[in-house]
Amino acid sequence: GESVGLHLPTLSVQEGDNSIINCAYSNSASDYFIWYKQESGKGPQFIIDIRSNMDKRQGQRVTVLLNKTVKHLSLQIAATQPGDSAVYFCAERADDYKLSFGAGTTVTVRA
Amino acid sequence: SQTIHQWPATLVQPVGSPLSLECTVEGTSNPNLYWYRQAAGRGLQLLFYSVGIGQISSEVPQNLSASRPQDRQFILSSKKLLLSDSGFYLCAWGGGSQPQHFGDGTRLSIL
């Protein structure tokens, strides 16, 4: 079965508000995590990653938080925009070559 | 910069026909290469990966095969397509402790 899963399959957020997308993982030995954004009809696009020696990493309007104690990963999007509407996947490194993906959360931004 | 190309973008094939999907990467040498399938509204299922020319690892038993005839070329094939082969096929490069980067996929419909 999947070792990475998202808490909620859908998220509706008002434009301008902050979004938080959550992800749980089961392998306590995982050392590398990635967030992807997938727009309709396109391939997943890399957003941000984090290694297990960190608990927070920031990008442009996005922040990833890693809580290794409870094996939880989250993606925060500041000032959500209509262009942020997409499916978001978390992924963890499964071995030297492979990633394990969650099922994805669909984010819909309301105008 | 690195780029990844997949073609065709969409394909409609009859049951029992052969398949060849091609993926090429530019701007990097000896990349890890991956083929995924994504069912509608679902996550990504790893089909094959390759760490070098002629080296193919298969993740799930199936009707498909993969080949890597050149360093930056990855091909997904089938001799006889089944209805269950329909889906969105994604090629990616990267991996290990680095993100995987995806192409824009091929939408395959089997009739």
pLDDT in tens, B11-31: 999 999 999 999 999 999 999
The per-residue pLDDT for A95 is 83
* Whether B43 and A89 lie within 8 Å, measured CB to CB: yes
Residue A110, chain B, CB below 8 Å: the answer is no
Give mean pLDDT in consecutive 10-residue pieces for chain A, a chain of 111 residues.
58 96 90 95 96 96 96 97 96 88 92 91
Asked whether residue B61 carries a pLDDT value surpassing 50, the answer given is yes
Out of B42, B46, B101, the one facing A98 most closely (by C-beta) is B46
Edge-to-edge strand ranges of the sheet holding B65-70: B3-7, B19-26, B73-78, B65-70
The per-residue pLDDT for A3 is 47
């499916």: which residue's tokens? A87
Q: Residue B54 is encoded by which pair of tokens?
A: 């002629």
Secondary structure letter of residue B85 according to DSSP: G
Neighboring chain A residues of B6 at a CB cutoff of 8 Å: 43
Q: How far apart are CA A17 and CA A19, in angstroms?
A: 7
Residue by residue, DSSP assigns A39-81 as -TTS--EEEEEEETT-SEEE-SSEEEEEETTTTEEEEEESS--
The per-residue pLDDT for B62 is 81
The per-residue pLDDT for B14 is 98
The per-residue pLDDT for A4 is 62
- Percent of chain B whose pLDDT exceeds 90: 85
């509706």: which residue's tokens? A12
